[in-house]
Structures are given as structure tokens and as C-alpha cells.
Structure 1
Amino acid sequence: MPEININGPDGAFSAYLAVPKVLPAPAVVVAQEIFGVNQVMRDVCDWLAGMGYLACCPDIFWRIEPGIQITDKTEAEWKRAFELFGLFDPGKGIEDLSAVISHLRDHEDCTGKVGSVGFCLGGKLAYLMACRTDSDCNVSYYGVGLDELLGEAAAISNPLLMHMASLDKFVPPDAQAKIKEGLGNHPLVDLHVYEDCDHAFARIEGEHYDAAAAKLANDRTTNFLEENLGS
């Protein structure tokens, strides 16, 4: 079944689970964008399952409104997405994601290895997972607000792969400079900047989708997960 329920510290919430053909398998927690567990996030899970991972995308907006599945195609949906972003508590989100890690590690089909991949808001959460949880590795795609969280970098104890867009309208040049300075020399952080790309360059059919940059980032992610989780 693709839909499962996970018991978190504040209650139960739903998640999309994609299962690979060969089991047991390592697992990946997919941290959503600001649009909820929509088709884009489900497709990411299916892509990861195709590579041999249990892939789980939890509904981290459940405290605000369960079951959000909107797109980036209309002004009204963008407005709602930013409302959700403003109402969202990242600390509570990390508690939920930590519960997902525990759920997957205890899953009969999991090898016990669990990493994360996050996009936009989820990219921020993937960074925080690296700082605050025991996930085995983490991948952040164009995470937002990371320049305000660099003080937590000393807590990173497992590998973190980061994809940053040079023209990201949500991560201005001064913020990017701080991130590079704060994380560029961290021994566990592998930071890549994609020149002439804007936010969400890896979102297929998105306004700023860049096929070449997305392939490069996804290939790096594939190799990174295989190196740190196996498959």
C-alpha cells in the first residue's frame, strides 16, 4: 500500500511509501516542498524506489491541514503554499521526520540504513536532519533559510550533499556567500553550486526546470546515496 500512517510525538500522520522490487532495502525519507505530498513528491519517491530504496514522503503539514496536495501552476496555489510555509514549525517538522526515520529503521523491509532527500523547505529540513537526527546521510536541494542555521553545522556527524542554485530568488547572493563560508570547508559537507540556475531547477515541468542541471544533481545524489546507504 502506498499510503501508510506513522505515529509521531504529537499524533499520527500519513505518508506516501514507494517500495522497491528487491527487499530488504535501505530507506530514504523524502522531505516535501511547500506544496505538500503532491504528485511531484510521489514521483521522487517512485524514482528512488526504482533505484532500490524504500522511499517515504510524510505529510509534514498535517498539524495545519492534513492531505495538502497542490501544485506550482496557479497564483492561488502559490499563495496557499506560502501561507503553509509561514505557519509551519520546522522544529516540529524535524520531530516528525525523526519519527519517520525510526519507523523505517524498524520496518521489516528495511536494512536499517536511512537517509533523507529534501527540496526547498524540505532542503532546509534535510540540513536540519543532518544537524539534529541520526540519519545516515542527507541530501538538500536548494534549501531555504540555511544562512540562519549555520550555527548548527558543528553537530553534523554524517555526510550531507547540497545542491544550490546560483540565481536562486529565495536564497540571495549574501545568503549564498554565508552558506559557502559556513559549510564549504566542513569535512562532511559536499556543496555544489549550479550556475545560471534558479530555485527548483530539478522540479520537472517547473518554471525553472533545467534538464542538464537536474540530471547532474540527480546523478550526484544517486552516487551519494549508493555510497552511504547501499542499494
Structure 2
Amino acid sequence: MVATGYENVTVDEKASEEQTFRAFVAVPDTGPAPAVVLFQEVFGVNDNMRELARRLAGNGFLAVVPEMFWRLRPGFESHDESGLAEGMELAAHLDLDLAVVDMTALLAHVRAKPECSGRVGAVGFCLGGTLAYLFATSVRVGGRGPDAAVSYYGSGVHDHLELARSIDCPMLFHYGDHDQYISRAQIAAVEAAVANRPDIAVHHYDAGHAFSNFDAPSFHDPDAADLAWGRTLAFLDDTLA
């Protein structure tokens, strides 16, 4: 049985109540478990993200999905492509430096949870793929970052490749070769930046952007999604167990 619900994450213990944000949590019934932080697409923490959290919990992981738009529009979520324009507008105004502050508080929060074994990975999609990359490059608690990270078609990873040398955990990248928002040249730049890292892999799919999102029919590619998810689960098992 998987238990689910929302909880608050405090950004600064010395700040006011407003310095907290919500995270959806799915807890497996297997005792202390490795945790996986799921980072949202521009659609927010919606049915797609909550279902992925339940799937992870069903596979024995503590899943935590933070609301990364909380400073802009708390509680925002869209259930299909109709929210794309609004979500992209919010993403354009997301302060990535503050996002790193929030993710640092989140990592400390997750590692302190009694349900967590102490090992924490991340999986992010689109905007969340960029956040998962920044989680790996820039988030440290007590000098220690996450233990693994997976970036699905991170829309801004190629803009921050100067940080690639700071990745100190195993990592996967998933990209569609027909992505409407990320060019093949930008994907190639990511591959070049991590080419000397045997613990980092870049996978390509015969698909477009957001191929994993089953809430967005015009983007979803079931074959690519299933293949990437299988690789993601195997990677998380190998790195977080």
C-alpha cells in the first residue's frame, strides 16, 4: 500500500511562515527507503507528476514532488496542453538561483525524513529536467549533493554547461531526436560536455519533446516513454539501493 499526501518544506527556519512550500509525497510500505525527488514540467504538480510519484513508491522509493512555482503561483497545475502557454510564462520568470535555494532546503528536508534511507536521487522533466541537472551540479547539504539524477529533455541544460564539471553523482539524460524545443546541436553540446564521464549516459529516442507525459496526448509517445522509464528505474535501483 502506498500512502500519499502533501507536506510543507521550510526554506529558512528563521523566516516567516511564507518561506514554506508544498510537496506531494508518496510513501512505500517497505520501511526506510531511498528517496526520489520528482521535478515538474511547466504543467506544475499535476496528475501526471502525482501518478509518477505513486509508481515510484510502488517500486520501493519514497517519492517527493515539490511545487517549484510556489514563489510565482502556488498550487498551479494544468492537466493537458491547454496550460502550456501559462506554464511556459511561469517557467520564463522562474529565478533559478532561488530554485537552487529551494532545492537545497528540499534535499535537507528529504534526507531528514524518517521514511528516507539517506540516499536521494532526482528525476525531472522539461523544466524539471533542467532543475534535476541543477540539483546535481549546485545543491549541496553538508558538502554532499544528491546520489543520482535523471534529466528528461531538460529545456535549459545546454544553457548551463559550464556547471557540468560540478556533477558529482551518476546521471542519465533522455532526449527525443525530434524535440521541437531542443535542437540536435544543443543535445550534442550536452553530450560533449559529459563525454569523459563513464557514470553519465545520454539516451536518444525516436520521439519529440515531453514524450513521457501521458497527460499531454499531442506530446506523449508510449514506446519512448516506456523505454526511458525502464532505463530510469534500473538506473535508480543501481545507484540508490
Q: 2:44 matched to 1:33? A: no
Q: 2:102 matched to 1:99? A: no
2:126 match: 120
| Counterparts of 2:59 and 2:170, CA distance in 1 | 20
Q: 2:6 matched to 1:3? A: yes
Q: Which moved more, 1:104-113 or 1:1-10?
A: 1-10
| Counterparts of 1:188 and 1:229, CA distance in 2 | 14
Counterpart mapping for 1:182-197 below 5 A? 182-195=193-206, 197=207
Residue 6 of structure 2 aligns to which amino acid in structure 1? E
Q: Which moved more, 1:14-23 or 1:171-180?
A: 171-180
Q: Following TM superposition, where does structure 1 have runs of at least 4 consecutive aligned residues deviating by more than 6 angstroms? A: none
| Counterparts of 2:65 and 2:97, CA distance in 1 | 17
1:79 match: 85
| Counterparts of 1:114 and 1:177, CA distance in 2 | 28
Residue 126 of structure 2 aligns to which amino acid in structure 1? C
Q: Which moved more, 1:89-98 or 1:40-49?
A: 89-98
Residue 164 of structure 2 aligns to which amino acid in structure 1? A
Residue 108 of structure 1 aligns to which amino acid in structure 2? P
Match of 1:70 among 78, 83, 87: 78
Asked if the contact 2:39/2:66 (under 8 Å) is kept, the reply is yes
Asked if the contact 1:156/1:188 (under 8 Å) is kept, the reply is no
Deviations 1:178-230 (A, max 9, x none): 112222332331111113x1001111142121111111101110110001111
Aligned residue for 2:213, secondary structure, equals coil
Match of 2:192 among 173, 181, 190: 181
1:88 match: 94
Asked if the contact 2:48/2:215 (under 8 Å) is kept, the reply is no
The unaligned stretches of length 5 or more in structure 1 are none
1:144 match: 155
Q: Which moved more, 1:198-207 or 1:221-230?
A: 198-207
- When the two structures are aligned, how many residues end up with a matched partner? 227
1:111 match: 117
| Counterparts of 1:68 and 1:36, CA distance in 2 | 6
1:162 match: 173
1:211 match: 222
The unaligned stretches of length 5 or more in structure 2 are 140-144
Aligned residue for 2:231, secondary structure, equals helix
Q: Percent identity?
A: 39
Residue 175 of structure 1 aligns to which amino acid in structure 2? Q
| Counterparts of 2:121 and 2:21, CA distance in 1 | 20
> TM-score when scaled to structure 2?
0.90
| Counterparts of 1:104 and 1:97, CA distance in 2 | 10
Deviations 1:56-85 (A, max 9, x none): 0011111111111113332xx222111101
Shift of 1:37: 0.8
Aligned residue for 1:46, secondary structure, equals helix
Deviations 1:2-57 (A, max 9, x none): 11000014710011000112111111111110111111111111111110111000
Aligned residue for 1:29, secondary structure, equals strand
2:137 match: 131
Q: 2:30 matched to 1:55? A: no
> TM-score when scaled to structure 1?
0.94
Aligned residue for 1:181, secondary structure, equals helix
